[in-house]
Amino acid sequence: MMTTRRSFLAVGGAAAVAATLAACSSQSGKGSGSAAGGITLWTHNGGNKEELDVVNSAVKDFNAANPDTQVTVKSFPQESYNDAIASAAVSGNLPDILDLDGPIMPNWAWAGYLSPLTISQDLQDKVIDSAKGVWNDKLYSVGPYDTSLCFLGRKSAFDQAGVAVPTIDKPWTKDEFMDALDKLSKLDGFEHAIDMSVWDTAEWWPYAYAPLLQSFGGDLIDRKTYGTAEGFLNSDKAVEWGTWFRSLFTSNYASQTPAKDGQDFLQGKVPLVYAGGWKVLKAQETFGEDEVLILPPVDFGAGAHVGGGSWQWGVSSSSKNAAAANKFIEFLMQDKYLVQYSDAIGTFPSIESATPKTKYYGEGKPLEPVYEIGKKYALLRPATPGYKVISSIFDKAARDIVSGSDVKSTLDQAVKDINADIKSNDGYKAK
């Protein structure tokens, strides 16, 4: 069985601001689409053959059906993709179609990279909310898939420790979760009770840990105005989250230096891991399907949450062939290709009608719980152009807390930094 990975965006705060400001001066330009009616498409999948193969398959079929509107694909390694987009925006040479990580869409729309989509209303209505990029009441992007975070547990360890298994409809409470960690920590043969996956980098930290903050009752920013983080990221509930998060490591329930890529779980060193649905197939392959528990997020008091929103497709503001670009995106969003995506990389389709046709999703299939968790508990990251900077600042703050920094002062500083960025960009008002 093939395993997959979630693609995450890595942009530092200073770099993000610089890229944004540079992009603001490039609202117009020659664009990179062919004057003869061709379409250029850029993707971050240069190092991900399985996902790129799906894109190329759709392009081949589209080109065969539309001989006068040929799509040309250019793929980049994920590490260099966002820099390539920023450089192209500055030079006025953006492609007609580009992909983007969902939470970055508002920034790119605000900076002038994107034009609103003109895809059919029927398609818009079919796509799940977490796979739609909406900012300023306009749709700028749609994605062919999404995925979900979850906990993966060893059934034999749960049975031995006497830990009750939570259900999707009745997740653990905070007390139940901590009781489970305490019982699992006392089992022989394991180094820790849980791997919280703090080995991962970039967008993982906001994607994975901000939903826990939100479950405590805090948040990254005021989602009504997007004008301040004061009273949200440094609220009493946020401090409670940070104190709890740090305690996982000081209590030795979790390691600050786990092996990369969930290997501690796969090698039997921990009985529980906080991971993405893309890790499930490998775990089932290693231990057997019946041995791997797929568990929902914890309700820490303000509801259970997981991050939502993955890679999506949009049309650049400088495209000379926007109508054709939108036509291709509609073509790509057919069930046929959504199923190919799912089977290749383990994500679930963004249109429900495609789900039962996949290998791993749908009733009774190995990843059905991942889909149900995502559908029930997904919470989008803040839909603001400032998210790039918010993400970077939260990443640093969370890492500092895990490393032992004072929780309240760390969150207070994060709030100051976020608010300073909002102010310096005039509140990220629509242009």
Domain limits, the chain? 13-147+310-380, 149-306+386-428
What band does 24 get if pLDDT is binned at 50, 70 and 90? Answer: very low
Question: What is the average pLDDT value for the chain, to the nearest integer?
Answer: 91
Tokens of 289: 């399907």
What band does 279 get if pLDDT is binned at 50, 70 and 90? Answer: very high
Looking at residue 27, its pLDDT comes to 32
Please give the C-alpha separations between residue 408 and each of 1, 80, 300, in angstroms, as whole numbers: 45, 35, 19
List helix spans (H) across 28-97: 49-65, 78-91
What span, in angstroms and rounded, lies between the C-alpha atoms of 415 and 417? 5
Looking at residue 37, its pLDDT comes to 73
What band does 36 get if pLDDT is binned at 50, 70 and 90? Answer: low
What band does 188 get if pLDDT is binned at 50, 70 and 90? Answer: very high
Percent of the chain exceeding pLDDT 70 equals 92
Burial level of 125, CB count in 10 A (0-12/13-18/19+)? exposed
| 3-class DSSP assignment, residue 65 | helix
The CB density around residue 120, as the number of other CB atoms within 10 Å, is 12
Does 72 score more than 50 pLDDT? yes
CB 193 within 8 A of CB 254: yes
Task: Identify which has the larger pLDDT, 32 or 425.
Answer: 425
Q: Which of 197-201, 230-234, 302-306 has the lowest mean pLDDT?
A: 197-201
Segment 103-135, tens digit of pLDDT = 999 999 999 999 999 999 999 999 999 999 999
Task: Identify which has the larger pLDDT, 61 or 362.
Answer: 61
Does 26 score more than 60 pLDDT? no
Percent of the chain exceeding pLDDT 90 equals 84
- Give the chain's count of helices (H) and strands (E): 16, 14
Burial level of 260, CB count in 10 A (0-12/13-18/19+)? exposed
Angle at alpha carbon of residue 219, lines to 145 and 387, rounded to 5°: 55
Q: Which of 55-64, 198-207, 215-224, 405-414 has the lowest mean pLDDT?
A: 198-207
Q: Region 350-378: what's the mean pLDDT?
A: 94
CB 194 within 8 A of CB 184: yes
Q: Tokens 């053959």 — which residue?
A: 49
What span, in angstroms and rounded, lies between the C-alpha atoms of 382 and 225? 11
Does 5 score more than 80 pLDDT? no
Looking at residue 12, its pLDDT comes to 36
Does 288 score more than 90 pLDDT? yes
Task: Identify which has the larger pLDDT, 8 or 164.
Answer: 164
| 3-class DSSP assignment, residue 113 | coil
Could you tell me which CATH number the domain at 149-306+386-428 has?
Answer: 3.40.190.10
Are 13-147+310-380 and 149-306+386-428 equal in CATH topology? Answer: yes
Segment 293-331, tens digit of pLDDT = 999 999 999 999 999 899 999 999 999 999 999 999 999
Give the domain 13-147+310-380 fold: D-Maltodextrin-Binding Protein; domain 2 (3.40.190)
